[in-house]
């Protein structure tokens, strides 16, 4: 039904709209609402006056009043939304601040799985009386190899595919053999030079090797070196330490075994395996241990006397043991990550799971 407003009502609507359009605050809109819509307002007055009209005019008059009411309410609602949108824009661009507006949500970050495991192991070793140290990632040949009993022509250098640094175009031999450390063992040497025995330290850190990258090899990964030097230390202390450490990590007794392993800076050197903590029945075999019942935990051994001597430690008095925990490997075991490339890949879809 087409209804045109009577001139009087039309005028009311124009007046109301002019005030609404000019309003810049909620209170002004509220005042218009009071004058037109509330009890005692314009619309109510029009409706009340209907009873004084001749019956044939009442219907149109009632309809007209209701149309006016609807039009004023709509104009009020539209302007209110407009003002709110303007306030949000102003707050976003820093002009003015409305504390009643909902805040912009902030994306929460989380710790990298390597950081998590590193901190957990640091806590465990701290509770066992270890100091936590670090060292430079760009090392010199002397610390990464030579003082670890790996001289220039030693075949063990082939085990480490080294990234050599070029300094101002200088050749490898004339820049002190600057390199990206291939293991955290170089901090063993730095520690022995700095501290007087007895001491026990762990050194978490990033290491680098020129590997062909695949699911189990990365050019950048993490290790945690352990070094203990004191009087009368034996392989028994090494085994005891690793068992204590495993008990803390897995909250249960875990059997270990030693296999011979060769590293020039330890003698004897071992590969230490742990009973797979993930098998339903210990030793039964599972996916994690590839059905062998054992997981390789870390290379380790008694510090070679030549290494102690090169760092000025009296081998008549002191012995020591060292271990090299593969942090990246432990993280993968812990969270059942089957591809090492996820760790340093920087994909936030992967990282946001932790
Ligand atoms: N640094 C050795 C490596 O990365 C591991 C190791 C550490 C071996 C400590 C023995 C003792 O290959």
CA distance 184 to 187: 6
Domain ranges of the chain: 2-92, 113-135+182-351
pLDDT over threshold 90, residue 245: yes
| φ, ψ (nearest 5 deg) of residue 272 | -100, 125
pLDDT tens column, 297-311: 999 999 999 999 999
Q: From 134, 346, 94, select the one nearest 223 (Cα to Cα).
A: 134
Mutate to test the pocket of ligand 1, among 185, 226, 228 (most ligand atoms within 8 A of CB): 185
* pLDDT, mean over the chain: 91
Q: At the topology level of CATH, where does 113-135+182-351 sit?
A: BirA Bifunctional Protein; domain 2 (3.30.930)
pLDDT over threshold 90, residue 218: yes
pLDDT tens column, 89-111: 777 776 666 778 788 888 788 99
Closest atom of ligand 1 relative to the 269 alpha carbon: 10
How many angstroms does the Cα of residue 196 sit away from the middle of ligand 1?
Answer: 22
Work out the pLDDT band at 2, boundaries 50, 70, 90: very low
Closest atom of ligand 1 relative to the 227 alpha carbon: 9
CA distance 249 to 124: 8
Q: From 188, 139, 190, select the one nearest 160 (Cα to Cα).
A: 139
How many angstroms does the Cα of residue 351 sit away from the middle of ligand 1?
Answer: 28
pLDDT of amino acid 1: 39
How many angstroms does the Cα of residue 345 sit away from the middle of ligand 1?
Answer: 25
Q: List, chain by chain if needed, residues with CB within 6 Å of any ligand 1 atom.
A: 183, 185, 263, 266, 269, 299-301, 322-324
């Amino acid at each position: 039904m087409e209804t045109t407003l009577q001139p009087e009502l039309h005028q009311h609507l124009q007046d109301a709209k002019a005030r609404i359009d000019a309003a810049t605050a909620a209170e002004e809109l509220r005042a218009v609402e009071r004058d037109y819509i509330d009890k005692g307002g314009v619309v109510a007055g029009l409706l009340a006056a209907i009873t004084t009209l001749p019956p044939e005019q009442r219907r149109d008059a009632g309809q007209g009043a209701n149309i006016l009411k609807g039009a004023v309410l709509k104009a009020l609602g539209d302007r209110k939304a407009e003002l709110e949108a303007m306030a949000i824009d102003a707050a976003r661009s820093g002009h003015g601040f409305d504390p009643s507006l909902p805040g912009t949500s902030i994306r929460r970050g989380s710790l990298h799985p390597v950081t998590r495991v590193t901190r957990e192991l640091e806590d465990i070793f701290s509770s066992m009386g270890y100091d936590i140290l670090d060292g430079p990632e760009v090392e010199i040949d002397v610390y990464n190899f030579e003082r670890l009993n790996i001289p220039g022509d030693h075949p063990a250098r082939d085990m480490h595919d080294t990234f050599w640094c070029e300094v101002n175009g200088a050749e490898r031999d004339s820049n002190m053999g600057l390199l990206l450390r291939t293991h955290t063992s170089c901090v063993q040497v730095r520690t022995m030079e700095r501290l007087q025995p007895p001491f026990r330290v762990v050194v978490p850190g990033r290491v680098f090797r020129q590997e062909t990258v695949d699911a189990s090899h990365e050019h950048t990964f993490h290790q945690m070196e352990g070094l203990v030097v004191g009087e009368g230390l034996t392989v028994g202390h090494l085994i005891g330490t690793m068992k204590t450490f495993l008990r803390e990590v897995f909250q249960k007794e875990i059997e270990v075994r030693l296999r011979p392993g060769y590293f020039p800076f330890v003698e004897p050197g071992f590969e230490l395996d742990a009973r797979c903590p993930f098998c339903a029945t210990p030793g039964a075999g599972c996916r994690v241990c590839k059905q062998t019942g054992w997981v390789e935990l870390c290379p380790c051994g008694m510090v070679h006397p030549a290494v102690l001597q090169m760092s000025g430690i009296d081998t008549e008095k002191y012995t020591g043991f060292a271990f090299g925990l593969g942090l990246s490997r432990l993280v993968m075991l812990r969270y059942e990550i089957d591809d090492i490339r996820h760790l340093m890949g920087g994909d936030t879809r992967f990282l946001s799971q932790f």
